[in-house]
Structure 1
């Protein structure tokens, strides 16, 4: 298991009893997406995690592969670390939501695949689904109602390999209640997208 550094987590208290777990992209850090916190619904407590694996000047959740790989040992070990971190929280939350960008988005989906009944929604930004099959996939697809997932991608995104995007889209449709949005952008988050994330979180 890849342990999450609890001391590195950046927190914002919310007025409600629901938690949003935020996971950054490869080579980044916990402070990156935490910059979105002032724009996100005030009811949500936000916890921005640091990935456990040093990568360049930042951190990664699992091995980088420009093309598909179904080697899920490391991503599952990291996902188990996130689940263990959640289990260790002193406060209990009524619902837990996930938001991940790029590699963090793949992590968010992997968490739902390992714990199909644990999460309330996923914001899956500029991302993909890790290849391979897991025992929880069928349970995830059978959820009623299905887990809401906001999937965003940029038409100019040249970081996420097109093969991953093409493969991931139908997989997401088969396992989640997908709200898919496309933007005229590269591998980043734009204002229109942030507004859609806020609306999604308010809806779910």
Structure 2
């Protein structure tokens, strides 16, 4: 799998990305594209360089995916490793080696945000997992994550029928054991993001980003 992922970048990317201490990485959901989550930048108050990456698997009609859905909520580890390496390949090429990565992902993108944390936790700051979940297989950084217990935001709707229940249960078990978790559920919300969640994420970022 090529690491040459397509992307959309913030207007200040060329001047700011080389010296910024934190760079936001937006990771869209299944069947969407790199333009989808750019609308979160303003409501979340992201005052940093950001990039929105396009997933590597083309689905047609403008959509893409980070991995194929085989067993819902339980993807195969090998393709996940390849996709995670592709994202890190893009980051290694385009982001300063001293910058921390702030991953913000929805659905499959939320899953990928957790993968960045679980593979190279020293590079990741305060992941935002929106309607996502974690992989069942152990990952290279899990022990380091458990030792440092980084801040993580995990939000989901109570009416979300897209993410399989075993994946939700797995995530509800794994995250509190490995991270300093801020968990929020939103009554009546299906597989999406609402204003209450945006407000909660903004509060979380204000607490955990460097001033």
Shared fold per TM-score greater than 0.5: yes
Task: State the secondary structure of the residue aligned to 2:173.
Answer: helix
Q: What stretches of structure 2 of length at least 5 have no aligned partner?
A: none
Determine if the alignment matches structure 1 residue 10 to structure 2 residue 9.
yes
Q: Aligned to 1:179, which of 178, 182, 188?
A: 182
Q: Aligned to 2:201, which of 183, 197, 200?
A: 197
Moved more, 172-181 or 133-142: 133-142
- Cα RMSD after superposing both structures: 2.0
Kindly indicate whether the alpha-carbon contact (under 8 Å) linking 1:10 and 1:30 is maintained by their aligned counterparts in 2.
Answer: no
Task: State the secondary structure of the residue aligned to 1:64.
Answer: coil
Kindly indicate whether the alpha-carbon contact (under 8 Å) linking 1:121 and 1:147 is maintained by their aligned counterparts in 2.
Answer: yes
Q: Aligned to 1:21, which of 14, 21, 25?
A: 25
Task: State the secondary structure of the residue aligned to 1:98.
Answer: strand
* Aligned equivalents of 1:154, 1:130: Cα separation in 2: 20
Determine if the alignment matches structure 1 residue 55 to structure 2 residue 59.
yes
* Aligned equivalents of 2:93, 2:143: Cα separation in 1: 28
Q: Aligned to 1:165, which of 164, 168, 174?
A: 168
User: Aligned ranges for residues 1-204 of structure 1 at < 5 Å?
Assistant: 1-6=1-6, 8-13=7-12, 17=20, 18-57=22-61, 58-69=63-74, 71-89=76-94, 91=96, 94-143=99-148, 146-184=149-187, 185-204=189-208
* Aligned equivalents of 1:83, 1:90: Cα separation in 2: 10
* Aligned equivalents of 1:125, 1:13: Cα separation in 2: 26
Q: Residue 79 of structure 1: CA displacement?
A: 0.9
Q: What stretches of structure 1 of length at least 5 have no aligned partner?
A: none
Report the TM-score when normalising by structure 1.
0.90
Kindly indicate whether the alpha-carbon contact (under 8 Å) linking 1:4 and 1:49 is maintained by their aligned counterparts in 2.
Answer: no
Report the TM-score when normalising by structure 2.
0.87
* Aligned equivalents of 1:61, 1:109: Cα separation in 2: 13
Kindly indicate whether the alpha-carbon contact (under 8 Å) linking 1:19 and 1:93 is maintained by their aligned counterparts in 2.
Answer: no
Moved more, 98-107 or 16-25: 16-25
